[in-house]
Amino acid sequence: MKKIFFISILLTISFSFLSCQKEFLAKKPDKAVLVPATLEDFNALMDNLTIFNTGTALQEISADDFQVTDATAASFTTTIQKNSYTWATDIYENQPCSDWNIPYQQVFYANVILDGLETVKQDAASSANWNAVKGNALFHRAFAFYNLVQLFAKGYDKSTANTDLGIPIRLTADVNQKVGRGSVQQVYDQVLKDLLDAEKLLPVQTAYKSRPSRAAVNALLARIYLNMENYEQAKNYAASALALNRSLLDYNKLSLTAINPFPSSPANDNPEIIFYEKLISYGFTSSTRTTVADDLYQLYASKDLRKSIFFAGSGPYYVKGRYTGSRLQLFGGLTVDEMYLIHAECLARSGNFADAINELNTLLVTRWVKGTYTPLVAANADEALNIVLQERRKELAFRGLRWGDLKRLNKDQRFAKKISRMVSGTLYTLAPGDKRYVLPIPFQETSTSGIPQNER
């Protein structure tokens, strides 16, 4: 009963929060209504997928994998979706922003747990559970901060990270504490610290993929170091994650015609899922009228099973195959196939192109019609890197990663890309390095807290 009671509290707070016009940090949630006091209580809080296991999604609308017709663009009633698609200066028009609110909810609840753990005494019988609870909270806080900095700050650049504006770094559940915007470097430092601390506390594997494990920490560290362009560390952590799980799903065993071809998550049926996270739901990302970009669709060969498993329709094609197991819900968690691609990219960047291509072939043979796959070869590291990056886009499309990849790769002239889209006779373009790669902070937050706004 106690577990149900705490989950009910969370749901009540969540629904009232989502309907409120104030942004989450400005609203100052009342910590007093939450009274978790035991390890069981803390676990109940973190097992609520309504709060946790949810990632940002506006980056998917803004990136280059989706396309819509004029009629479809006009049909979306939510201002934030229309404006995100055309990279408007004011995306929100005074509407609340879930991509800001929900991660800061997660930060708040993680801090409630971390503060509360200080009053829970450890003993021999409870030590492992206490450690797991703390590691779980640290992981969730780190993931939330990382998702936020991906949207609301510049991409990580070692030469400017100490001066680039990041996001508020809240490390306590005390809502009266004034917190300004830390630098991008400070945000990444905190994220890395939380994850490295969590790694020492979490079990190697967990019974539920909605709970973080040591494997999930390694996978998230690999993703983060890749975006920091620290390719040596990304390679090492991807290798560590793969050492714990190299299992791949053979797409030959999936139905090409099923509405939901992938196993339902977060159950354990999909061996590639390391940690389950869904993206925030928007009509834009779930509608059959929102289709895959032509240039992306054309990358898939006829014998590539992903072409039929990921997409459906008669052209243009809509997205159906998602690792959530639901056509209506995008996946943003951590997976084995992502680790193969990170490992392969980092190997290619280090000059070890033969091993990079071998990693890629191990993945791709499970994606093609059985008996038809011809192993890829590369003559040099540059060629291998080009191949890996193309496969990365094809394999990880619609998982919330493309926006970060664009920000990272646009700094390299070899891979820089200008995005253009025509909507109702108006041509919209987003050039590499454009300020609009950083989303504005919601007005309610800047007006209440006084933190500086991003330039657009």
* One fold for 2-69+96-218 and 251-280+287-419: yes
Query: Is residue 404 pLDDT above 70, yes or no?
Result: yes
pLDDT computed for residue 122 by the predictor: 87
For residue 385, the surrounding DSSP H or E stretch is helix 381-395
Mean confidence (pLDDT) of the chain? 92
pLDDT computed for residue 6 by the predictor: 46
Cis-peptide, bond into residue 266, ω within 30° of zero: yes
pLDDT computed for residue 25 by the predictor: 52
Tokens at residue 212, please?
């973080």
Query: Is residue 416 pLDDT above 90, yes or no?
Result: yes
Query: Is residue 418 pLDDT above 80, yes or no?
Result: yes
Higher pLDDT, residue 177 or 297: 297
pLDDT computed for residue 30 by the predictor: 55
The Cα–Cα gap between 106 and 194 comes to 14
Please check whether residue 48 is in contact with residue 105, taking contact to mean a CB–CB distance below 8 angstroms. no
Closest CA to 23 of 318, 451, 444: 444
Lowest mean pLDDT among 359-363, 368-372, 444-448: 444-448
pLDDT computed for residue 337 by the predictor: 98
Greatest CA separation for the chain: 68
Please check whether residue 119 is in contact with residue 173, taking contact to mean a CB–CB distance below 8 angstroms. no
Domain boundaries, the chain: 2-69+96-218, 251-280+287-419
CATH classification (class only), 2-69+96-218: mainly alpha
Indicate the pLDDT class of residue 76, thresholds 50, 70 and 90: confident
Indicate the pLDDT class of residue 1, thresholds 50, 70 and 90: very low
Indicate the pLDDT class of residue 33, thresholds 50, 70 and 90: low
Query: What is the 3 state secondary structure string of 321-338?
Result: CCCCCCCCCCECCEEHHH
User: Looking at the whole model, is its pTM more than 0.85?
Assistant: yes
> What CA–CA distances, in Å, run from 379 to 3, 49, 340, 365, 413?
58, 46, 20, 20, 21
| Architecture field, domain 251-280+287-419 | Alpha Horseshoe (1.25)
